Amino acid sequence: LDTNIETYIFTEGPEDKSLETIFSINNKTRASFSIDYRIISATVSFTPSFLPGNNDDNLKGSSSYADLRFRFFPKKFIQTVYYKNVKGFYMENMSDFFPDWQEGKDPYLQFPDLRVQSFGGSTAYVLKDHFSLKSIYTQGEWQKESRGSWVPIVDYDLSIFRDILNGQKSKETQYSLGGSMGYFYNWVLGAKKRVNIAPHISLGLGGMFSSSWDIQNDGTKLNKQNTQYLTLRFASGLHIGYNTDRFLFGGKFNVNAYAYNQKDNQNVQNNNLYGLLYIGYRFPPPKVIKRNYDKVQKKIPIL
């Protein structure tokens, strides 16, 4: 389980008098199921309505969230691919625009048709030998010696924004490409090497290419605009875990953010902030999976 907070912040005006508009989804708790085998990891995430923070529809409107991602760990590379679908936002900072608005009583301004679909991935490379980034990302390995490593990362993303506002359809397509340098360290504690504490941080730059337009009822495109932006990227987190031969559990806290200047005195941020609790169990793979995987590995040694 984790607290997934998907937030977009639009800032307008000079720094000393800037005005923020914050858009969030009405899903605060996410459930994930993950399965790992050797170099392959698959995770599906969703937001069940029965979990706390996911059912305040009367005031914030309905939101939906789905995330599917795969990670591959050939040698010192980490390859991630993902698909994410988010729909239904509300304006979080209502009191900044409506002084008489009362939290918990008055409804938020809602954007039920605002939908964001993202297709993306990242490629990372561990520079130091004998450092397991997999033990931090997916807990699929158990690192038993304290080590750290610099990790260069290239990420790429296609995001499609769709909305219907006052009967007018609009669409924006964003292509992003960026590079970051991160440092990860894994402290292994205890006589049996069961406890690990792993902080990490990364900084980077990138570019974003955006195309936006309005759509008439007959499908005609109006007001088309093409723009390019320089993006700033930041990520940080802390992982604390406990390992045994069979059971593993722990928690994480992660921050992912990027920002870009849309025009003079206007800034846009996409922040993703969450804490996570996990529990897992290691079990022998079915014989048919092991047998077929071994056959493939003989032909493709990198697996």
The domain segmentation of the chain, as residue ranges, is 5-299
Task: Report the C-alpha gap between 296 and 38 in whole angstroms.
Answer: 13
Q: How much is the average pLDDT of 91-115? A: 92
Share of the chain above pLDDT 90, in %: 45
3-state SS class at 61: coil
The pTM for the full model equals 0.84
Which tokens belong to 264? Answer: 């003079």
3-state SS class at 195: strand
**Fold type of domain 5-299:** Lipocalin (2.40.128)
Task: Report the C-alpha gap between 91 and 169 in whole angstroms.
Answer: 19
List, in order, residues 6 or more apart from 220 with CB less than 8 Å away: none
Radius of gyration, CA atoms only, the chain: 22
User: pLDDT band for position 222 (50/70/90)?
Assistant: confident
pLDDT of residue 297: 82
Q: Is the pLDDT of residue 166 over 90?
A: no
DSSP-assigned letters across all residues of 165-178: ETTEEEEEEEEEEE
Share of the chain above pLDDT 70, in %: 91
Which whole-number Å values give the CA distances from 133 to 87, 118, 138, in the listed order? 32, 24, 8
Which tokens belong to 91? Answer: 């304006």
Task: Report the C-alpha gap between 259 and 174 in whole angstroms.
Answer: 14
Which tokens belong to 226? Answer: 């093409």
DSSP class of 274: E
How does pLDDT run across 244-276, given as a tens digit for each residue? 988 999 999 998 887 776 655 456 666 677 888
Task: Report the C-alpha gap between 74 and 95 in whole angstroms.
Answer: 50
Task: Report the C-alpha gap between 200 and 136 in whole angstroms.
Answer: 10
User: pLDDT band for position 292 (50/70/90)?
Assistant: confident
Q: Is the pLDDT of residue 34 over 70?
A: yes
Per mean pLDDT, which range of 27-31, 108-112, 199-203 is the poorest? 27-31
